[in-house]
Each structure stands twice: as C-alpha cells, then as structure tokens.
Chains A and B, each alone.
Chain A
C-alpha cells in the first residue's frame, strides 16, 4: 500500500522537473524577471552607467505632473484603441458580411481589402507620408488643400489612425469572413422561415454564433492598439501629437537619453493597462470553461 501513495516514479519526477523546470526558467527568466526588473527600476534614477539611486515614486510624480508628452500619449493610446475598436473593427465586420453575400468580383474586393495586411506598419507609415505630406502629398495635390496633415498636432493622430485602420480593417475582415463561412446556412434559413428580416437574422442569429471570433478579434484589436509604435515612429518618431506610450518608453530608455528609471516608469504604466485587459480576458475565458 505504501508504494501505492507514491504516484510518481523517480523517472516521472525527473521528466517533470526537466519538462516543467525548463518552462518555468524560461518564463521567469524571459518574462517575469524583466517585468519585475522594470518595476524595480521604475523607482530609481539611473543613467545606465553610474550608480543606481533609489528615488521611490518620484518618477511617477514627474511623468504625471511635469512631462507633457505623457498625457498626450495616454490620450492617444486610448483614442487609438477606441478608433480601432469602434470604427475599424465594425467596418471590417461590415466588409466581411458584404463579401460573404457572394457579390460579383468578391474575390477582387477581398484581395484589395486584405492586401494592406501583408505590409508592415512601418511601411504603412511611409505610404502615409506620401499621401499626407503637405508639400508633395497626394491628398493635398488632388484636393487642392494645403493642410499640414502630419505636422498639425491636432489632426495628425486622426489621419495616422486612418492609415493604421486601413490595415486593421483587412485583418479583421478576413477573420470574420472565415467565421461567417463556418456559420451553418440552416440557421439563416430557419430565421428566414420564421419571418426575420436580414437585419434581425444577422444581429439575432448570426452574430451571436460568432462569439468565439468576436473574442479573438477583440483581443487582436486591443493588442494592436497597445503595441502601436512602428507607424508613428516611421512618420515623425512619435512626437508632436503622435506620442504613444510605447514610443515614450523607447525614447527615454533606448535613445541616447538613457533615462532608464523614468522610461521604466512609463513601461510600468503600459504594463498596468495591458494587465487590465489581460485579466479581464482571462477571467472571461476561465468562467466560460467552468
């Protein structure tokens, strides 16, 4: 009986330790270690070379009270998330629904909408400059306006988001299109027989069955909004109205500046925001499984 309680043989334990151990080490070393180090560094003043000086929460005070780019970055990140979530994503769904109706040339539309997705956002940034430049841009040339689309800090974030959405729409569209193809046509037929019009059939029958897809799209949208970086960096290094938290982290830590403590504090803020979404998402996921 005594041997019965030993559920794992020595070999099992070894395998477990190695298998789990490697995963734990990699996880702690590459994810939790640097994360905690960032949190630790955010309480210090460090130029990257000299001694590290502990200054408590002063970095947080400085960035919230005396660093103007910080609040515009927070605002821009929120606006970015809102725009992708409330404009680009529904538009992607709309395109997917239209394409799912087997229009003529639907393959052509589909390819045209999906094409930008294969471009890196940095490339989208370069294309945006060709379109929006005030001196040689296509937009001003065609419309005859002389708006400084990228230089005017009150409008540049919007036109850049349009460029980012151009890519995001195709991405969302293709995911929804796959989801729509998987919806059982019998459901729609049944709805039609029951006298539902197109709109009711979509919102009350089809859309609810897309729930797993919606979750994926939501996660993608949030990730895209929080990691946005390359497009604004390609345009003007994320300054003058195009500040984003990810850019400020880079600007402070990676550049010649080396305000490592200060940059880490911004990174921690970004981490907290991301954690909010991750925790919500995971708790949703686990509740479902139960």
Chain B
C-alpha cells in the first residue's frame, strides 16, 4: 500500500537525553531478561530504537506524540520514506534494523516472521490480548501459532460518496449488485461518471478485485487464492473478472493514467458519483467538506456470503530478530497497544481507526464512527491483496495483470492463464 506521497527524509528524532553513566543498552542480544537498572532518568529499560515508515506529516506527528508518553525507556526514531521503507524491508531486516519497526498485519507479517526476522511476542499478547478482538489477534499470529505483531490503527475500504450530491439527486445506497448497476445507470443519465477509478499506481484496482472476490466467492476462497492454493483459471475467479467487466462501463475511463488522489478530487468536485477506496480518501477533501463524506459497504452479490467481509488493512509494530533491547522493545509494544496511545492517532488522523477494542470512540468524527461500526459488523477482515499474498506475487504479477485487465477488460481467459503460470513459478 503506498497511498502516502513520498517525501524523502531520514531524521533522527527524540535523540535527546544521552544516557547517564553506563548505558543500559548493553542488554544481551536477543535476551528476554530485563535490562539491568541504572538507565538514568530514562525509566530503566535503556534505549529503544524505532524504524518508522511514517514519513508523512500526520503519521509522523502521531508517532512522535505517542512515543513521547512512553517513559520506561529512552527512544530514538529513525524515519524513512514510506515507499522506500517498504521496498527495502528485506535488506533492512537482515542488516542493522532498529529494535521496533512499523509493519503490516496478515500474510505480509507472516512472510517475514516465518523467515526468522521477527521476535515472538506471545508473552506480550498474554497481557494485551484482552484489548483486541479475535480477528485482530488472528491477523497478528504467524503460521506457527505465535504472535509477532501489535496492531495499532487500521482503516476500512468502502464505497464513498458525497451526501449532499446524493440527497440532491435522490440516490440511495444500493444493497445488491443489481441495485448498484441501476444506480450507476441513473447517474450516467444524470451526466455523472458513476464510479471514480484510478490505477496508475497499480494497487488501487486490487481493492476492487478483493471486494468482488469476497462478495462472489467468500473470504475463505479469497484467502486461499491469495495463498497460492487455488487456481486462477478456476471458473470462480473467471466470474469475478466477468462481473468486473460488466461494471467497467460505469468506471471512470482512462484509469491507468490517473492517480487515486486525482480520482478522489473528482469525487470531491462532484464529477463522479462514488468511489471504492480506503478511508484515507478523506485526505482529498477539504476540512469543511469532510462531514459531507459518507460511505456504504460494497453491495451483496452472492447471498451465501452477503456483505460479511471487507478489506481493512491493519498497521502496527513488530520487533526485529536482531533487536538489541528486546525487553525495552516489548515494553514499548505494550505501550502502543494501549487504548490511550491509539486515541492520539485517531484524533490526529481522520482516516484512521484504533485497533484496540478498549479505545475511546467518543472523540471519533462521524466518518470514523461509521467506519468502526462497519468493521465491527464484518465477520471477516482481509488485509488487501498486497498484504494477503507474497510480496513478489503482488508486485511483479498482480499489478501488471490487473493493469492489463483494466486496459483490455475483454481478454480474461488469456490473462488468467498467464497469472496461473506465473503464480506456479513463484509459489513453488
């Protein structure tokens, strides 16, 4: 996911408070033993370093504020540009990573945990487990049944629209695919482009694929397809693309040359009627218009699954296997798990929700409240295509393939055959 604009900077923040006397950093590598005392005024757990991809203003400020209220150890944050951090994660974790690093839940976490690059934090989960629902715990659990990840914030994907426009034209949120098609037809007649769409960056179309697949074939099939266990030439996958092709005439044309920001702008300017995207689309709306933004979950297609699944990617923190101060890192993770820490984030960023069930939702904006409600109603939460499958498959196979589908929606069979062959090469 790369919805953040890349602004390169590599800052050392909060590097203050040079430890007095013998620094307690010298905790044995990989040891779980509490650090020997004497860390001056830093609370006794020495220094914890944090590798952060929060290079944008709001996420960065959030992290700074949250970390400032952590008193058990001195902290040092190393911020790297969002996309750069992601692309270099492999080399980063094998090199000299910080103790704690920002990462994503689900398969993307398991992939690195499986290779021994993360520290098992099941003991942390024994303490914080009560603050999270089972769905969040599952997304933090590796293939070996141990936990490796602490969820911090998340955001749901849904179909967004402007209330004022819909009220004016008398549109109602559709509950089924037929209603959606009828609505889109009506919008077209009213001179609107029904569905805003952009896929220049390659990932936004994944959101459409995910939701169609989960609506048509259910969550379990989707996850199993992402895990490389199903065939892409399966008629069920074909049906997803057929359905998508049927909706293409209502999508904003020339999507491959457009960024999601531009598509979001078109929604804000009332040129398009609705837009399937993550809640971060709110960033494209001026402060005054944000209350005018609302959403509905993608309508039901197959009654067997209804609307029981959504994409809601979770961001959070992990401990690298090479961490020097594991005890301090675990204490910091517990701090991140606290509802009070997550509330700082939701207050600063209108597009985020707190992962902890104990978080105080009274300060939420209307949109955030609706988002939390949507997620609590969902039986299954997927993480988004590029977080639910192997990173190499997502970036080198799915991005070009989905772009080629968006360019030529008619060529389904040859496309699926090609994806299947490439999948076989990657998931050996």
Binding site for B on A (CB under 8 A): 45, 47-50, 62, 65-69, 132-136, 146, 148-153, 156, 236-237, 239-241, 243, 251-252, 254-259
Assess A239 versus B257: contact at CB under 8 Å? Given A45-B428, A135-B262, A256-B391. no
Subset of 18 A-B contacts with CB under 8 Å: A48-B94, A134-B254, A134-B257, A135-B254, A151-B255, A151-B257, A151-B407, A156-B257, A236-B200, A236-B256, A239-B202, A240-B403, A241-B407, A254-B87, A255-B395, A255-B396, A256-B86, A258-B392
**Complex alpha-carbon distance, A152 and B253, angstroms:** 10
Residue B407 contacts which of A49, A68, A133, A153 (CB distance < 8 angstroms)? A153
Smallest CB gap from B86: residue in A? A256
Chain B nearest CB, measured from A53 CB (Å):
9
Pair B396/A48 contact, Cβ less than 8 Å? no
Residue A68 contacts which of B90, B266, B404 (CB distance < 8 angstroms)? B404
A136 contacts which chain B residues (CB < 8 A)?
262
Residue A240 contacts which of B86, B400, B421, B425 (CB distance < 8 angstroms)? B400
Binding site for A on B (CB under 8 A): 86-91, 94, 115, 117, 200-202, 253-258, 262, 266, 391-392, 395-396, 399-400, 403-404, 407, 418, 421-422, 425-426, 428
Pair A135/B425 contact, Cβ less than 8 Å? no
Chain A nearest CB, measured from B145 CB (Å):
21
**Complex alpha-carbon distance, A50 and B90, angstroms:** 11
**Complex alpha-carbon distance, A256 and B88, angstroms:** 6
Smallest CB gap from B252: residue in A? A135
Smallest CB gap from B391: residue in A? A256
Assess A66 versus B115: contact at CB under 8 Å? Given A134-B254, A135-B262, A256-B86. no
**Complex alpha-carbon distance, A102 and B272, angstroms:** 55
Smallest CB gap from B426: residue in A? A259
The binding surface of chain B is classed by DSSP as helix
Assess A256 versus B90: contact at CB under 8 Å? Given A69-B400, A240-B403. yes
Chain A nearest CB, measured from B428 CB (Å):
7
Chain A nearest CB, measured from B203 CB (Å):
11
Chain A nearest CB, measured from B231 CB (Å):
15
B254 contacts which chain A residues (CB < 8 A)?
134-135, 146, 148, 151-152
Pair A48/B425 contact, Cβ less than 8 Å? no
Pair A49/B117 contact, Cβ less than 8 Å? yes
Smallest CB gap from A156: residue in B? B257
B202 contacts which chain A residues (CB < 8 A)?
237, 239-240
Chain B nearest CB, measured from A67 CB (Å):
6
Residue B258 contacts which of A48, A135, A258 (CB distance < 8 angstroms)? A135
**Complex alpha-carbon distance, A239 and B426, angstroms:** 19
Pair B90/A49 contact, Cβ less than 8 Å? yes
Assess A153 versus B422: contact at CB under 8 Å? Given A49-B90, A239-B400. no
Assess A151 versus B422: contact at CB under 8 Å? Given A49-B117, A252-B396. no
**Complex alpha-carbon distance, A151 and B259, angstroms:** 11
Chain A nearest CB, measured from B377 CB (Å):
32
Residue B404 contacts which of A133, A240, A252, A257 (CB distance < 8 angstroms)? A240
B258 contacts which chain A residues (CB < 8 A)?
134-135, 151
A45 contacts which chain B residues (CB < 8 A)?
428
Residue A255 contacts which of B87, B255, B426 (CB distance < 8 angstroms)? B87
**Complex alpha-carbon distance, A132 and B200, angstroms:** 14
Q: Name the residue in B202, B254, B257, B425 with the highest tally of chain A Cβ atoms < 10 Å from its Cβ.
A: B257
Pair A150/B257 contact, Cβ less than 8 Å? yes
Smallest CB gap from A137: residue in B? B257
Given contacts A50-B115, A66-B422, A135-B258, 9 further A-B contacts (CB under 8 A): A48-B91, A135-B254, A151-B255, A152-B256, A152-B407, A236-B200, A240-B256, A252-B396, A257-B395
Smallest CB gap from B392: residue in A? A257
Chain A nearest CB, measured from B259 CB (Å):
9
**Complex alpha-carbon distance, A1 and B202, angstroms:** 77
**Complex alpha-carbon distance, A65 and B425, angstroms:** 11
Pair A251/B395 contact, Cβ less than 8 Å? yes
Pair A251/B404 contact, Cβ less than 8 Å? no
Nearest 5 A-B pairs (CB), nearest first?
A: A151-B257, A148-B254, A151-B256, A257-B392, A256-B391
Pair A257/B115 contact, Cβ less than 8 Å? no
Q: Name the residue in A152, A257, A258 with the highest tally of chain B Cβ atoms < 10 Å from its Cβ.
A: A257
Pair A257/B396 contact, Cβ less than 8 Å? yes
**Complex alpha-carbon distance, A135 and B86, angstroms:** 30
Pair B257/A148 contact, Cβ less than 8 Å? yes
**Complex alpha-carbon distance, A268 and B165, angstroms:** 55
Smallest CB gap from B256: residue in A? A151
Q: Name the residue in A45, A49, A152 with the highest tally of chain B Cβ atoms < 10 Å from its Cβ.
A: A49
B117 contacts which chain A residues (CB < 8 A)?
49
B115 contacts which chain A residues (CB < 8 A)?
47, 49-50
Smallest CB gap from A53: residue in B? B428
Residue B421 contacts which of A66, A132, A252, A259 (CB distance < 8 angstroms)? A66
Pair B200/A151 contact, Cβ less than 8 Å? yes
Assess A68 versus B262: contact at CB under 8 Å? Given A256-B90, A256-B395. no
Pair B256/A148 contact, Cβ less than 8 Å? yes
B428 contacts which chain A residues (CB < 8 A)?
45
A258 contacts which chain B residues (CB < 8 A)?
90, 391-392
A252 contacts which chain B residues (CB < 8 A)?
392, 396
A65 contacts which chain B residues (CB < 8 A)?
421
B392 contacts which chain A residues (CB < 8 A)?
47, 252, 256-259
Q: Name the residue in A134, A254, A255, A256 with the highest tally of chain B Cβ atoms < 10 Å from its Cβ.
A: A256
A251 contacts which chain B residues (CB < 8 A)?
395-396
A68 contacts which chain B residues (CB < 8 A)?
400, 404, 418
Smallest CB gap from A63: residue in B? B425
Assess A257 versus B391: contact at CB under 8 Å? Given A49-B117, A66-B418. yes
